[in-house]
Structure 1
């Protein structure tokens, strides 16, 4: 029993540094999104799920949520209905949402997924990972709030209730500037 306890403690001590590294950014990727706050948002010019194209620069003068997500991501799926409510509430006042799907097989998986999870905001496909890399995204969902001048004012990691009063108040203040 004592040797089993010693073995277990030794394993924990030896493996602890590995858990710290597992959550670290990958060195072959761009720096995480937090370093982009205060800077001009990297351009996004991607195909939409309905076959068109959309660019972030075409939305200058609007407040934009750039949301990186995947169909296999539970928090991504969970937050989509509240994003839809937020979009319905603030779109006419100048809010745009670019839902950037990062799956290489997005063209195959998105149509079925979006039939089950209806939306009205644009869904873009980053099948080659270009936008994901430019923003340094490696956790999902990750969202960047871009102001009317094209600057990133907030970087949000994880799912949210986008229709919550605090978020609506924050975004309304940006829309009124």
Structure 2
């Protein structure tokens, strides 16, 4: 019986140690850093983007709301060209690079896509589905978390991003 309780004590200690520091990703907190590869194989580190407003979107090629919002994301990205703004479209497709490239080729659309085929980063961010978007300020603090698709090309949305950039 003593061995059982000793084993349980060790297990509880390990679980506590492993989960410590894994705070929920919420508005007002610094976004967890990550490194993912883009379609060309280049590693992108979120921490390297400090000084820019970051649009961090989790999506998948098989997701209808994701596909619906991509054209508006492209327009937003074009509207922010030349400004301290970075769009990161993190694909959670199991097919990884091939799935994303095939989708872009067939659809004629294109985003600055990163690959998270094992869902490690989407899990770290606590996403519950796709699309989900996190808006980060120039210091890497999460200003907004948006669950679901939206029209990112709306003039009010573009004005919001311009206002964040001007801070």
Q: When the two structures are superposed, what TM-score results if normalisation uses the length of structure 2?
A: 0.82
1:122 is displaced (CA, Å) by 1.7
- Are the counterparts in 2 of residues 31 and 136 from structure 1 also a CA contact under 8 Å? no
Q: Which of residues 157, 164, 167 is equivalent to 1:174?
A: 164
Q: Are 2:106 and 1:126 aligned? A: no
Provide the C-alpha distance between the structure 1 equivalents of 2:94 and 2:147, rounded to a whole number of angstroms: 21
Q: Which runs of 5+ in 1 are unaligned?
A: 1-29
CA drift of 1:154 comes to 0.2
Q: Give the deviation of 1:31 after TM superposition.
A: 8.0
Give the equivalent residue in structure 2 for 1:88.
78
Query: For each residue in 1:76-134, what CA deviation from the matched residue of structure 2 results, as whole angstroms up to 9, or x when unmatched?
Result: 00100111111011131111110000122212211111112422x42000012111011
Helix, strand or coil: the match of 2:81? Answer: helix
Distance in 1, matches of 2:46 and 2:23, equals 20
Q: What CA distance in whole angstroms lies between the structure 2 residues aligned with 1:169 and 1:124?
A: 26
Q: Which residue pairs with 2:91 in the alignment?
A: 101
- Pair 1:31–1:75, CA change in 2 (3 A): farther
Q: Do the aligned partners of 1:103 and 1:127 also contact (CA within 8 Å) in 2? A: yes
Asked if 1:113 is matched to 2:103, the reply is yes
Which segments of 5 or more consecutive residues in structure 2 lack a partner in the other structure? Answer: 1-21
Deviation digits for residues 45-96 of structure 1 (CA, Å, limit 9, x no counterpart):
1011122111111111000010000001001001001111110111311111
SS in structure 1 at match of 2:48? helix
SS at match of 1:93: coil
CA distance in 1, matches of 2:165, 2:43: 25
- SS of 1:92 mapped into structure 2: coil
CA RMSD of aligned residues (A): 1.5
